[in-house]
Amino acid sequence: MNIMTVDNYSAKIEYDPDTDMFRGEILGLNGGADFYGRTPDELRAEFRNSLKVFLEVCKEKGIEPRRNFSGKFNLRIPPELHERLAVVAEAEGKSLSLLVREALQLFVEQTV
């Protein structure tokens, strides 16, 4: 996964064959903001410009720029996996929630 971070905002970076450029999409916003660049430096500069414009528009319209997250979400998994996770959590002396949170944290740290 190609993630670029500027000023505590993250963007997914992909190659756009139609423009022969890299495209960034800023993630976690209450709206859309993207940018293009041919080099990492150009991409980073355009990220900053796009973010600046987005934040200015949000301020003008009284909109919170970032989406809010509650810290809760429903996860649907096969019953067999649920059972295995519960057994591992119990063996570790942890709640299922803590075990899953630690696994997700490890995954994110290795990915981003």
Q: Is 102 a member of any domain?
A: yes
* Strand 3-6, strand 9-16: pairing: antiparallel
Q: Is 66 a member of any domain?
A: no
Segment 1-26 mean pLDDT = 94
pLDDT attached to residue 27? 96
27 and 11 in contact (C-beta within 8 Å)?
yes
Mean pLDDT over all residues of the chain? Answer: 95
* Domain span including residue 24: 3-61
Q: Is 74 a member of any domain?
A: no
What total of structural domains would you count in the chain? 2
**Which residues is 12 bridged to in the sheet?**
3, 25
Q: Is 72 a member of any domain?
A: no
pLDDT attached to residue 1? 67
Q: DSSP 3-state assignment of 39?
A: coil
Proportion of the chain above pLDDT 70, given as a percent:
98
46 and 24 in contact (C-beta within 8 Å)?
yes
pLDDT attached to residue 111? 81
Six token digits for residue 110: 């290795």
Residues 55 and 85 in one domain: no
Q: Is 69 a member of any domain?
A: no
26 and 9 in contact (C-beta within 8 Å)?
yes
Q: Is 97 a member of any domain?
A: yes
Segment 25-33 mean pLDDT = 95
Q: Is 68 a member of any domain?
A: no
